[in-house]
Structures are given as structure tokens and as C-alpha cells.
């Protein structure tokens, strides 16, 4: 039960409690509608048990709305001997059958409890409708009134049964209630009507001669058989015959359900397409039967890696699909993709042969990447092909992947080897004190020196690196380089800090803090000399996990900076609870602030606010002396931008430091030039 959503667990406990409470009702007197001999009752009870032991959809091994012939006989007992005996027989039979079928304890109890409640509902209906008891007519269900009560009770029994199980299924599988019923409601109604309609007949027939009762098993057997056949047909239309998994049709339906559930609950849903690598070769060299065995092996492996309500489908050939409804965030989807990939990579033993498969996984997310089944599947497909082409375990869709021009795809492929080939370099851009104009630190900015395409800017490859997981290696590389340089600057008399940009995935990586600690240890750089820049949007994407990540990093003694401040929609009241030291006002507010009055006002109030929160404020994108002066008049602490220096290679940066140490930038006219460009807010 612990893998179920909390709402489902609560519901199940509620059903248990209601069934226990119902016992009180059974103690009240309930006159039966008919009167039968004890041996008839005994036979009805035996048939109830047999019916439970052979549920109609058992041959399909499917869990869901189960249909059993036991209902016919239990309902007959209700009519003939009242609710207490009926409930006892049905609940006990269900428990025996479920224990035999090795269902988990909570399912055993749930089925028994829901049967008790069905009998209560039907029994209450009988009590209400049967009218004054008249011995001469009721005993054989011969009055119309009694028959009417019996039929109404059958209807109530059915509706209660389907509702209680339907709600449990919907909650457990995180599906809308309607979609649970959509799959086989019509069939359930017809089959249940047929089964329950036989109950009064069983009572009357049994009373005439108990030996007639087994004869009833003949029509029941026919009904049973035809129900099973139609269920099998239904099942075949939506399932793959080789693996028994849902097929493309059902996969699309489940995707649609997941979209609707997510839009109602304000959660997200993930679609994953998985293609086995080199499956064709295995099939061709080892034969189809080995190929089939692999495909049959894959389904259960994937199912073990996801939650009970998630769907694993075979879409055809060696392509599988997974739908994950009701996820809290994108990172969870990425984590699951990792688990699925791992599950696939386990070795398989077939005919004494140890084989290994791998798969490429493409992920798309509702609502981020599309609002309908077709779009989401198409985008997951794009991501899957990128994963395959670039030998990544999984790739999450990103619009940049759509421009799958050959050169772009090639770039994705080359990214992997570029690191080993030493094509990445780190450039440094100074941060200076606005007051003294002396360098206080530098930001490390990565560049890809591509052998043919020249310098590729980070905006062209960082998103891809983030999608493919290579970002961890890139960040590790930049941190290593940056700390090395920081040490060199100190050796040359420049005691300044170095800042490194983090990606969302890095911040959420549980192993990252230990890596940083190790790098600090190896290089001997003091922790407070390292600044980690995290963008505002990144924190707000998953505030709780981000906070944990930040707290752990802060514990190491490194400084934390909120980058691109002002571009996200974070509430300052939230940011101030985070262990941050610095705020970098985004360059979009700074670059034109000498012309744009509102930019200047925003910057001033942001500086005021940040100071009140005890944060250092850095302005980025400073391109002119005027901007620098204006920032000084506002009280901003540090500045960064082309005016001081563009990002430059490590050697040039050290030369810049040497040249600029002790040099004061001319600030003489700052106050004269900008006396009161912006209103000075005294106290708010
Ligand atoms: P960012 O962190 O906001 O970095 C500042 C960007 O502004 C840099 O672009 C820098 O060259 C540019 N810039 C600096 N001064 C000025 C100026 O006065 N005017 C204007 N218009 N721009 C200026 P760059 O180097 O192209 O980096 C772009 C983004 O790529 C960075 O934005 C950062 O988000 C990301 N990035 C760069 N290196 C790394 C890295 O090592 N790891 C990660 N995760 N992201 C990185
Ligand atoms: Ca930055
Ligand atoms: Ca920035």
C-alpha cells in the first residue's frame, strides 16, 4: 500500500472503516424477501465460493473491475436469508479466493470490505422497498412488490460495487474516474445485469427442488464463457499479443487521460519513448525467438521501474512507451528515465546466453512541450532520436532539438567528444567594486572552440548539454579550471573570488556538494573564494529541492549568488529564506538604465531591498562609464560588463589584473553628472 498515492490510501482506509461500522446495521432485524431450506442456502454458499475462485477476467491476469459469478449466489442469499448471512458468505469467499490468488493483504481486506458495503446498500434498498411483510406472498418472491424490491436492490448492488472499486482504481492509478469506467463500463453493465437477474431465479428454483440448483450452472456457464470471450476480444484490441502490454491504441488513450488529470490537478505528465539499441542485429543473428524473449523480458523490467498507475506499452517492433501521470516536476521525470535506462541495462539470460540490451529514451512533458497526444509523442520521438544519435541514455525534448539540421545534430554528437578533445576553454570576466573600481572577483564563462565552426557560444550548447546529462561533466570541468586560476591569481597577489554558473540539474544533483568539497580540498582554495551562480528561474522551478541543495553548498562555506535577478517571478520573501549571499541584477535592467528611467528606478529599489536583506548586489551588463557612475550613486556594490572587460582567456585575464591593480577608474564627476536622475527613496 505504501506505493499508492496518499489519497488512495486514505480512501482505502475509509472503506475499511465504513465496512466495520456497517456491522452495527447487520445486528438490526432484516426480514428476508423469501424463505428457503437450509440445504439450499448451503449450496448457494458453496457456489458463491466457487464463483470467487474463478473470476471471469482471471484468464487475462488483469487487475481492475473484477467480475464474478459469486454475485449471483450471494445476492440470492441476501434475498433468501437476509444481509448478514449474505455479507458473511461473500466477504469470506472473497478473502479465501484472494488469499489463494496471493493478493496483498490490503487488497484482500479491501475486496471483503467493499462487498460488505455492497450488501449493506442492497439490503437497505430491500428494507425500504419491500413494504409490509405478508407471509403468504413474500416467501416465494411471488408478490410484485417483493420482486420490484429485489430488482432495485440488484441495481444498487451493482452501482455500489462499480463505484467503490472504480474510485479506488482511479485514485491508485491517478486517472480521471471517467476513464476508468470508459474502458469497460458497457461490458460491466451487461454482464452484471445478466448475473444479478439470475439471483431471484436461483431462490425460487432452489426452493422447488434443491437438485435443480446445479442446473442453473448451465446458463451461468454459458454467460461466463461468452463474457470471457468478449473480454478477451476487448483485451486483444488494446494489448500487444507477444508481451501482453498495452498497445499503441491504449497508450494513446492513457496519455490522453494523463493530460487531463495533470491539467485538472496542476501537475505535469511525462511521455517517454524507448527504442532498444541494436535490437535488429540481435534478431538477425540470434533468431526471432531470442528477439521475442528479449521483448517479453523488457516489459516487466520497465514496469518494475515505475509506479503502479504508470503505463508501460509496446508501441510496435522494439519500441516501447511509458506514460507517467501526476508528476510533481520535470526532474522526477528525468530521474525515472534514468531508472528505466538502468533497468534495461541489466543482463538477460536466454538459453544459457547472457545478453545485454540498452535503450535510448526520449522524454516530453505536458504541458511544457505540448497539450495533446500527437504533439507530445512527436516531441518525445525527436528527443529519442537525438538520444540514439548521440549515444545518451535519455534526452528530454527541447525546442533547440527540433532544428535537427545535420550540422546541429552533428554538434550534439560532437559535444560528447569535445570535452576529451580539450575543445572547451574557460574565459574570465572581472567583477569590480563600484566604489573603488578594484577587481573583487571574476566570472568563469565557458567557450567551445570548435575545430571547424570557430567559437560556439554557450547559449548554443549549454541547453543541449543540460538535456543530455553532459552538463555535469562540463560543470565539473569549469569548476576545476576556475579554482586552478583562482589559486594562480592569489599566487600573483590578487586575492579575488571566482564565480561559476550552475545548471538546474547540477543544483539538484545529490553528489554535487561532495564534488565541490573535494575540489576545494585538492586546490586548497578557501571556500569563500568560490561563488556559485544560480538563476532565479532555476530556483523557482523546484523550490524545495533547490533549497536543500543550496543549504548543503552553503554549509561548505562557498558563496551563493542569484543570477539574472529580475527575469524570473520569484517572490523576494521566498528568496530571503534561502542561504544566499549575493544578487546579480540582470543586464536587461542595467545596460540601458541611463536612458530608461524605469530601469533605473527598479535597480535602485532592488539595491535597497537587497541591502536590507544583507545581500551584496552586483550589476551585470555595464557597458559605459555613465552606467558605472549611476550605479555608484545608487549604492550598488559591484559591477561587471564590457566597460571593464569582455570575458577573456585565462592568460589575458591575469594580464588585465596586473595592469589594473591599483588603478582607479575615474569617478570624479559621478555626482555632478547625475545629481538627481532618479528619485531618492528615503524610507519605505
Ligand atoms: P550569464 O551567467 O548571465 O553570463 C553573463 C553573460 O553576459 C555572458 O555571456 C557575458 O559574456 C555577457 N556579458 C558580460 N558583460 C556584458 C555586457 O556588458 N553587455 C552584454 N550585452 N553582455 C555582457 P556568455 O558568456 O555568452 O554566457 C551566456 C550564458 O551562458 C551565461 O549567462 C550563463 O547562463 C551561461 N553559461 C556560460 N558559461 C557557463 C557554464 O560554465 N556553465 C553553465 N551552466 N552556464 C554557463
Ligand atoms: Ca552568470
Ligand atoms: Ca546573468
Sequence-distant (≥ 6) Cβ neighbours of residue 127 within 8 angstroms: 30
Q: Would you state the pLDDT for residue 136?
A: 54
11, 171 contact by CB (below 8 A): yes
Q: Would you state the pLDDT for residue 515?
A: 96
Q: Could you tell me the distance, in angstroms and rounded to a whole number, from the CA of residue 355 to the centre of ligand 3? A: 48
Q: Pocket around ligand 1: residues whose beta carbon is below 6 Å from it? A: 429, 445-446, 457-459, 462, 475, 478, 501-503, 533, 563-564, 587, 591, 620-623, 641-642, 647
Please list all protein residues whose beta carbon sits less than 5 angstroms from ligand 2, which is an ion: 501, 533, 563
Helix (H) or strand (E) segment spanning residue 558: none
Using DSSP, state whether 398 is helix, strand or coil.
Answer: coil
Rounded to an integer, what is the distance from CA 431 to the centroid of its chain? 40
Q: Would you state the pLDDT for residue 500?
A: 98
User: Grid coordinates representing 298?
Assistant: 523488457
Q: Could you tell me the distance, in angstroms and rounded to a whole number, from the CA of residue 219 to the centre of ligand 1? A: 78
Task: Give the separation between CA 473 and CA 652, rounded to whole angstroms.
Answer: 25
In this structure, the residue with its CA closest to atom 33 of ligand 1 is 501
| Closest atom of ligand 1 relative to the 586 alpha carbon | 3
Q: Could you tell me the distance, in angstroms and rounded to a whole number, from the CA of residue 564 to the centre of ligand 1? A: 10
The overall average pLDDT reported for the chain is 86
In testing the pocket of ligand 1, which one of 427, 443, 445, 582 has its CB within 8 Å of the most ligand atoms? 445
- List the beta bridge partners of residue 649: 427
Q: Would you state the pLDDT for residue 299?
A: 93
Task: Give the separation between CA 616 and CA 184, rounded to whole angstroms.
Answer: 62
Task: Give the separation between CA 390 and CA 415, rounded to whole angstroms.
Answer: 9
Task: Give the separation between CA 54 and CA 204, rounded to whole angstroms.
Answer: 25
Q: Could you tell me the distance, in angstroms and rounded to a whole number, from the CA of residue 458 to the centre of ligand 1? A: 8
Q: Could you tell me the distance, in angstroms and rounded to a whole number, from the CA of residue 445 to the centre of ligand 1? A: 6
Which pairing describes strands 319-327 and 353-356: parallel, antiparallel, or unpaired?
unpaired
User: Grid coordinates representing 273?
Assistant: 519513448
* Domains along the sequence of the chain with CATH: 6-238 (1.10.1760.20), 248-401 (3.30.70.270), 423-671 (3.20.20.450)
- Output the CA–CA distances (angstroms, integers) from residue 632 to 89, 442, 565, 670, 675, in the order listed: 86, 19, 19, 8, 12
In testing the pocket of ligand 1, which one of 620, 625, 641, 656 has its CB within 8 Å of the most ligand atoms? 620
Exposed / middle / buried, residue 278 (Cβ in 10 Å: 0-12, 13-18, 19+): exposed
Q: Could you tell me the distance, in angstroms and rounded to a whole number, from the CA of residue 603 to the centre of ligand 3? A: 15
581 DSSP assignment? -
CA 366-367-371 angle, to 5 degrees, is: 85
Q: Would you state the pLDDT for residue 585?
A: 94
In this structure, the residue with its CA closest to atom 35 of ligand 1 is 458
φ, ψ for residue 247 (rounded to 5)? -95, -170
| Closest atom of ligand 1 relative to the 533 alpha carbon | 2
Grid cell 508501460 — which residue?
312
344, 332 contact by CB (below 8 A): no
Q: Would you state the pLDDT for residue 189?
A: 77
Q: Would you state the pLDDT for residue 174?
A: 74
| Beta-carbon count within 10 A of 476 CB | 16
Task: Give the separation between CA 450 and CA 423, rounded to whole angstroms.
Answer: 6
| Closest atom of ligand 1 relative to the 643 alpha carbon | 18
Q: Would you state the pLDDT for residue 346?
A: 87
Task: Give the separation between CA 80 and CA 85, rounded to whole angstroms.
Answer: 10
Exposed / middle / buried, residue 458 (Cβ in 10 Å: 0-12, 13-18, 19+): middle
Rg of the chain taking only CA atoms, in angstroms:
35
Q: Under the phi-then-psi rule, with left for phi > 0, alpha for psi from -120 to 50, and beta for the rest, what region is 632?
A: alpha
Residues of the chain with pLDDT under 50: 58-62, 137-138, 664-684
- List the beta bridge partners of residue 362: 273, 395
Amino acid at each position: 500500500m505504501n506505493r499508492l498515492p496518499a489519497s488512495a490510501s486514505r480512501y482505502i482506509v475509509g472503506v475499511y472503516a465504513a465496512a466495520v461500522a456497517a456491522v452495527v446495521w447487520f445486528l438490526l432485524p432484516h426480514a428476508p424477501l423469501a424463505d428457503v431450506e437450509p440445504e439450499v442456502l448451503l449450496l448457494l454458499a458453496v457456489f458463491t465460493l466457487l464463483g470467487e475462485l474463478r473470476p471471469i477476467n482471471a484468464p487475462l491476469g488483469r487487475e481492475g473491475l473484477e467480475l464474478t459469478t459469486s454475485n449471483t449466489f450471494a445476492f440470492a442469499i441476501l434475498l433468501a436469508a437476509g444481509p448478514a448471512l449474505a455479507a458473511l458468505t461473500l466477504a469470506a469467499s472473497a478473502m479465501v479466493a484472494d488469499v489463494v490468488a496471493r493478493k496483498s493483504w490490503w487488497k484482500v481486506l479491501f475486496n471483503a470490505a467493499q462487498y460488505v458495503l455492497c450488501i449493506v446498500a442492497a439490503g437497505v434498498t430491500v428494507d425500504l422497498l419491500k413494504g409490509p411483510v405478508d407471509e403468504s406472498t413474500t416467501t416465494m418472491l411471488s408478490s410484485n412488490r417483493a420482486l420490484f424490491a429485489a430488482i432495485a436492490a440488484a441495481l444498487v448492488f451493482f452501482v455500489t460495487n462499480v463505484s467503490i472499486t472504480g474510485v479506488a482504481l482511479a485514485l491508485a492509478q491517478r486517472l480521471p474516474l471517467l476513464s476508468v469506467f470508459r474502458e469497460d463500463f458497457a461490458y460491466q453493465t451487461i454482464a452484471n445485469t445478466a448475473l444479478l437477474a439470475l439471483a431471484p431465479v436461483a431462490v425460487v428454483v432452489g426452493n422447488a427442488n434443491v437438485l435443480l440448483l446445479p442446473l442453473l450452472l448451465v446458463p451461468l456457464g454459458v454467460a461466463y464463457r461468452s463474457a470471457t470471450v468478449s473480454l478477451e476480444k476487448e483485451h486483444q484490441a488494446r494489448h500487444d499479443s507477444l508481451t501482453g502490454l498495452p498497445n499503441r491504441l491504449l497508450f494513446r488513450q492513457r496519455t490522453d487521460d494523463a493530460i487531463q488529470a495533470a491539467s485538472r490537478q496542476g501537475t505535469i505528465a511525462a511521455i517517454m519513448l524507448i527504442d532498444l539499441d541494436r535490437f535488429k542485429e540481435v534478431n538477425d543473428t540470434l533468431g526471432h525467438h531470442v528477439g521475442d524473449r528479449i521483448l517479453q523480458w523488457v516489459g516487466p523490467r520497465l514496469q518494475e521501474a515505475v509506479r503502479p498507475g504508470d503505463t508501460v506499452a509496446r508501441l510496435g517492433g522494439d519500441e516501447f512507451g511509458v506514460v507517467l501521470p501526476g508528476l510533481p516536476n520535470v526532474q522526477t521525470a528525468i530521474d525515472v528515465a534514468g531508472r528505466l535506462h538502468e533497468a534495461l541495462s541489466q543482463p538477460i539470460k536466454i538459453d544459457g546466453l547472457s545478453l545485454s540490451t540498452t535503450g535510448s529514451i526520449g522524454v516530453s512533458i505536458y504541458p511544457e512541450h505540448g497539450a495533446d497526444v500527437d504533439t507530445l509523442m512527436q516531441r518525445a520521438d525527436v528527443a529519442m532520436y537525438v538520444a540514439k544519435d548521440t549515444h545518451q541514455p535519455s534526452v528530454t525534448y527541447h525546442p533547440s532539438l527540433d532544428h535537427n539540421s545535420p550540422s546541429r545534430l552533428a554538434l550534439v554528437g560532437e559535444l560528447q567528444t569535445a570535452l576529451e578533445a580539450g575543445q572547451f576553454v574557460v574565459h574570465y570576466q572581472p567583477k569590480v567594486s563600484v566604489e573603488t573600481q578594484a577587481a573583487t572577483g571574476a566570472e568563469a564563462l565557458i567557450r567551445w572552440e570548435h575545430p571547424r565552426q570557430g567559437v560556439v557560444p554557450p547559449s548554443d550548447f549549454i541547453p543541449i548539454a543540460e538535456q543530455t546529462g553532459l552538463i555535469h561533466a562540463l560543470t565539473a570541468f569549469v569548476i576545476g579550471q576556475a579554482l586552478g586560476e583562482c589559486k594562480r591569481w592569489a599566487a600573483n597577489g590578487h586575492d579575488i573570488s571566482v564565480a561559476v554558473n550552475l545548471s538546474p540539474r547540477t543544483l539538484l544533483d545529490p553528489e554535487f556538494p561532495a564534488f565541490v568539497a573535494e575540489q576545494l580540498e585538492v586546490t586548497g582554495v578557501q571556500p569563500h573564494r568560490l561563488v556559485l551562480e544560480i538563476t532565479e528561474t532555476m530556483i523557482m522551478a523546484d523550490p524545495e529541492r533547490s533549497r536543500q541543495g543550496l543549504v548543503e553548498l552553503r554549509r561548505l562555506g562557498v558563496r551563493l549568488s542569484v543570477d539574472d535577478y529580475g527575469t524570473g517571478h520569484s517572490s523576494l520573501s521566498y528568496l530571503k529564506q534561502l542561504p544566499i549571499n549575493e544578487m546579480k541584477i540582470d543586464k536587461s535592467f542595467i545596460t540601458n538604465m541611463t536612458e530608461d528611467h524605469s530601469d533605473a528606478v527598479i535597480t535602485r529599489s532592488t539595491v535597497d531591498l537587497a541591502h536590507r536583506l544583507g545581500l551584496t548586489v552586483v550589476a551585470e551588463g555595464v557597458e559605459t562609464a555613465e552606467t558605472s557612475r549611476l550605479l555608484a550613486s545608487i549604492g550598488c556594490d559591484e559591477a561587471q560588463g564590457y566597460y571593464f572587460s569582455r570575458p577573456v582567456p585565462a592568460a589575458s585575464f591575469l594580464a588585465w589584473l596586473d595592469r589594473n591593480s591599483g588603478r582607479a577608474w575615474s569617478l570624479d564627476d559621478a555626482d555632478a553628472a547625475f545629481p538627481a536622475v532618479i528619485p531618492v527613496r528615503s524610507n519605505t
